[in-house]
Structure 1
Amino acid sequence: MRPHDMGVLFDEAAERGHPTTARPDRPFDIAPDRAGPHDVPALAELVRAAAGWWAAAGARRGDRVAVLKDNHWDIDLLACAAIRIGAIPAKLSAHLPAGSAAALLARLEPEVLLTTAGVLHRARAEGVDLASLARTAITIDGPAPGAVDLDELRGHRTPGHRRRRDDDPLLITHSSGTTGEPKLVVHSTRTIIGALARFEALPVPIVGIRRDDVLATASAYAHGRTFCWTAVALSAAPEEIVLLTEPDPDRADPLLRAHRPTVVEGLPAAFVRLAPLTERLANPFRRTRLFISTYDAVHPPTVRAYLAASRRRFPLWLDGWGQTETGPLTFRLHHRRSAARGRSGAHRVGRAIPVKTRLRAVDPDALRPVRRGRPGLVLARTRALCLDYLGESERFASKRHGVWWNTGDIGIRRWDGSVELVDREVDRAPAGSCVATEDVLEERLPQALECVLLARAERPPLPVVITPDGALPELAWRRASRDLPAMSDPVVLRWDEVPRTGTGKVRRLELLDGLTGETDTCGSGRWT
């Protein structure tokens, strides 16, 4: 089965008798009385029921609706339910600051907002009334002022399936917003399913999903990636799906040990948080043959820890680089020996995905191609490019150069066709690569959970070292920073002291502002 119509994805999988069992680490927020596990027919029934809720709240074909709730896979189930009735769902992260959420909802103008009383109360405490930004607001965890309790809509008749053309808007997600307000990214069936999910669902040797696989994911379900992942997972029909909503090692450990995964996909931040499991005697990754990281840079020590934890003869790590607007653009496979060699300080992200993607590096000012081996602004050509930025079409058009898309990343195309990521253009430093320096620092500081280098205008970059206890010996820093480009003295923080997006990325400008009171960087920021 290859995915196509997400409105009936679960129905089609159930009709084909797919034996997949979904095992979430907690009950779905929209079905708190069903602890699981869930087979495919039960999931299909839940999607049909949710389609009835959308319809009962007033959503119709062509209407935009929004989901803004705590992290769980039911965000994607709700999106499929909205698509079933012909609506256009927007998945928004509950990690968004209230002001950002309000700005996105104002741009979106949703007919219906499905959220929680908790989200509304937190926003109201910041002076923002999110419920007023939709014609109808629904809360799934109890009553709230200005909203309809979901229990009042349960049991509504499931409307008939409404098909749409492949090039019509299908799904709206938002960019990470690490350097400013997020964009609302509009995808169609052709871009996110036809060009991404159907390609990924092919039975490719080694990296393809098998019927006997146990898939585990620790992701941000408000992101477009999990929508694509859902299409692939339901189509490939693995044995089990293990769903983690929080990267808490102690909470995840029992579920992962009871259902040992053979394929693990996660946010780089989730892999960092779950890394203590790799050191336990009964680590749950003994059967894992493939690890997959997406969204952001992942540093070599993390890759090595997981590959070493597997008891497979030849486990692999698939590293992807891409954007919300394009999906994955490059891939790279690591094995134990290649990961052990990855200490050079050059952050390689692999080659362009065959058949579907082309890349070039150009001068940021003239936009003319630069020679291989020289840094340049990376342009991509892909059939998976989104349709538009909702409400910001001029901004979207400014990043298109004919058939090429401006990623806003500075990179180097090597002679072997691989790409070395230098930095985001807005985050670049005058000397060296911040990303590569972060790699080296994490190699030399085993006590660090993460290292972040913040480029600043007319000043040396500011290093931020994140440790479990917010402490770092001065001698350890001096040894780690030897022979590296000039930096300021480090700031040492704990994980929860760092502002992050819903995908775990550091909000660099917000962090820089909080630490220095300034947000000026060395880049132009023209392509954020």
Structure 2
Amino acid sequence: MTTRESRATKQRKPAKPPELGTLFDLLADRGSPTTVHLSRPFDICPDGGVTFGIDRLARLVREAAGWLAAAGTRPGDRVAVVKANHWDVVLLACAAARMGAVPALISDDLPATALQTLLKRLEPALLITDSRTVEAVRDAGTEPAVFAPRTLTLDRKAVGTLGLDDVRGHEPPPVLRRHPDDTLVVHHTSGTTGVPKLVEHTTRTIIHRLAHFECQRTPIVASRRDDTVAVADPFVHGRAVPWTTSVFHLAPRKVVILADTDPAAVARTLTAHPPTTVEASPATYVRWQGLAAGPGNPFRAVRLYISTFDSVHPPTVRGYLGASRRQHPVWLQGWGQTETGPLTFRLLTRKALAATGRRHPTTRNLGRPVPGRTKLRVVDPETFRPVGRGRPGIILARTKARCTGYVGEEDRWSRKALGPWWNTGDIGFLTRSGSLVLLDREVDAVPGTSCVELEDVIEDRLPAVLECTVLGAPGRTLLPVVVTADGWLDADAWRAAVRDLPLLAEPIVRGWAEIPRTGTGKVRRLELRAQLLPDAATFGTGHWT
């Protein structure tokens, strides 16, 4: 092999990312130049300001490991983290992993009953939380001590719990690396169809296979050294750990953490640190559309937008691509699940979104499987035999990054794990070229149509509609629920927009806050159905939710 070939081989095979527990130690040793800017101070370090270098982050993780040890945590223990959304939940996960414990990151936006169910399944040795969550649990008639022998309250010490002053100043325990196939971290699914599942990932699945893939300097989509990377994900969800590992491994100039998605707070932070790449959930992008269209547009320098977690509709993508002053900005649309990581991706451009209002797949075409990483198969939902290209069916996925189980729901996991294949619970079809077109979740599917398509078209044709959700039930006309900024919708404009669509009932118009949502901003469809279509059946079975 020549010297040039040897160098090329090394470039194609980047070093594996460090272990989660010692991520920031290794980055500090490398002299990483990345600076982190926060939209508000960390909840675990409220007096620490909003600017952090890698050295400070490494020290904070080590200090937090000392807190956990002082609170009685031991290797192998599960540590539940339930607190207000901020990236410090990932730092706590690093601290737990550093000492050989298993962090379980849970949204504080869950209903109290769902939170109770998850904590009972988890049986953590330590619960890290805040006073708001403690009060919510107590209002639901349960004491935190029911779920964990020890509770650490980060902001305001509550009766019967530890406070940060009780555990500060303790030396961190030695680093303990567990086997790569042992559970590293527990995340939960979004919970759009009921109580979320607790998903177990190992170092091999979420670091070696998911994060390592993103550590490659892939043109266009990978973070560059001169990038300012802004992120507004819900940091308890499965994207946060591989995102943190890969982005910091690539060492961009700045990382901007948006802990709150309130447009005013976001505008202040992004004006001070204009991003070149942005990652957020589709619902968050919808909330920020006014910023993109406003005179202070903070997205002028963005070369790459990334969306995860849910379907994104054409007007949203079109608006942000138009907000960039770059010549060729792109939108990376990823589709996957907490259980699998990304399964497909597609780069959307201004040209791809040029046509408006038509009934054709735009953002519903989710692109191709990740080359060399994932495979897809579409099968008949009754026989599970493969169907031909262009025919709809249940989408099965195959990836070595698949989770290893559901905590407390082994039977449920087994129903979805079909040998090496994973039942996504989604309905779609493969095109002749191998792209995947998403139709609906199986539980939400309506024979002969696609609710996701109708939602796409309605939002595309009616700029006043921020979000549309179409609900179907046997024997009932399809019910559209639309969100507008002021809770009002022009009736004539509505009739013109839906004239060529399947028969729809009169729309129910709501404000953003009136719609039940998950921590990622997704609509809780089952809860919305229960409100608007009580006792109505679904066409789908829901067997694979």
* Same fold flag (TM > 0.5): yes
Query: 2: CA distance between counterparts of 1:237 and 1:458?
Result: 56
Q: How far does residue 307 in structure 1 lie from its aligned partner after superposition?
A: 0.4
Query: 2: CA distance between counterparts of 1:174 and 1:479?
Result: 41
Q: Which runs of 5+ in 2 are unaligned?
A: 1-14
Amino acid at match of 1:405: W
Which residue, 140, 143, 154 being the options, matches 2:157?
143
What corresponds to 2:167 in structure 1? 153
Question: Does the CA-based 8 Å contact 1:455-1:521 persist in structure 2?
Answer: yes
- Judged with a 3 Å threshold, the aligned counterparts in structure 2 of structure 1 residues 437 and 166 are, in CA distance, closer, same or farther, namely same
1:144 is paired with a residue whose SS is coil
Amino acid at match of 1:178: T
What corresponds to 1:272 in structure 2? 286
Which residue, 28, 42, 59 being the options, matches 2:56?
42
Q: CA RMSD in A?
A: 1.1
What corresponds to 2:452 in structure 1? 435
Query: 1: CA distance between counterparts of 2:83 and 2:360?
Result: 39
Q: How far does residue 519 in structure 1 lie from its aligned partner after superposition?
A: 5.1
What corresponds to 2:316 in structure 1? 302
What corresponds to 1:369 in structure 2? 386
- Judged with a 3 Å threshold, the aligned counterparts in structure 2 of structure 1 residues 450 and 276 are, in CA distance, closer, same or farther, namely same
Residue 113 of structure 2 is aligned to residue 99 of structure 1: yes
1:348 is paired with a residue whose SS is coil
**How many matched pairs?**
528
- Structure 1 residue runs of 4 or more that deviate by more than 3 Å after TM superposition: 341-345
What corresponds to 2:198 in structure 1? 184
- Judged with a 3 Å threshold, the aligned counterparts in structure 2 of structure 1 residues 60 and 316 are, in CA distance, closer, same or farther, namely same
2:37 is paired with a residue whose SS is strand
Question: Does the CA-based 8 Å contact 1:4-1:189 persist in structure 2?
Answer: no
Residue 31 of structure 2 is aligned to residue 31 of structure 1: no
What corresponds to 2:125 in structure 1? 111
Residue 529 of structure 2 is aligned to residue 515 of structure 1: no
Query: 2: CA distance between counterparts of 1:124 and 1:457?
Result: 40
Query: 2: CA distance between counterparts of 1:320 and 1:129?
Result: 40
- Judged with a 3 Å threshold, the aligned counterparts in structure 2 of structure 1 residues 227 and 517 are, in CA distance, closer, same or farther, namely same
What corresponds to 2:12 in structure 1? none
Question: Does the CA-based 8 Å contact 2:16-2:208 persist in structure 1?
Answer: no
Query: After superposition, where does 1:227-242 map in structure 2 within 5 Å?
Result: 227-242=241-256
Amino acid at match of 2:412: R
Moved more, 161-170 or 452-461: 452-461
What corresponds to 2:189 in structure 1? 175
Residue 179 of structure 2 is aligned to residue 165 of structure 1: yes
What corresponds to 1:344 in structure 2? 359
Query: After superposition, where does 1:412-431 map in structure 2 within 5 Å?
Result: 412-431=429-448
Question: Does the CA-based 8 Å contact 1:193-1:228 persist in structure 2?
Answer: yes
What corresponds to 2:330 in structure 1? 316
Which residue, 461, 465, 473 being the options, matches 1:444?
461
What corresponds to 2:8 in structure 1? none
Query: 2: CA distance between counterparts of 1:492 and 1:447?
Result: 11
Query: 1: CA distance between counterparts of 2:138 and 2:536?
Result: 27
Residue 276 of structure 2 is aligned to residue 262 of structure 1: yes
Amino acid at match of 1:374: R
Residue 225 of structure 2 is aligned to residue 211 of structure 1: yes
Question: Does the CA-based 8 Å contact 1:498-1:506 persist in structure 2?
Answer: yes
Q: How far does residue 51 in structure 1 lie from its aligned partner after superposition?
A: 0.5
Q: How far does residue 226 in structure 1 lie from its aligned partner after superposition?
A: 1.0
1:501 is paired with a residue whose SS is coil
Q: How far does residue 145 in structure 1 lie from its aligned partner after superposition?
A: 2.3
Query: 2: CA distance between counterparts of 1:390 and 1:328?
Result: 21
Q: Which runs of 5+ in 1 are unaligned?
A: none
Question: Does the CA-based 8 Å contact 1:120-1:131 persist in structure 2?
Answer: no
Amino acid at match of 1:368: R
What corresponds to 2:401 in structure 1? 384
Amino acid at match of 2:422: W
Normalising by structure 1, report the TM-score: 0.98
Moved more, 334-343 or 65-74: 334-343
Amino acid at match of 1:20: T
What corresponds to 1:12 in structure 2? 26
Residue 298 of structure 2 is aligned to residue 284 of structure 1: yes
What corresponds to 1:500 in structure 2? 517
Normalising by structure 2, report the TM-score: 0.95
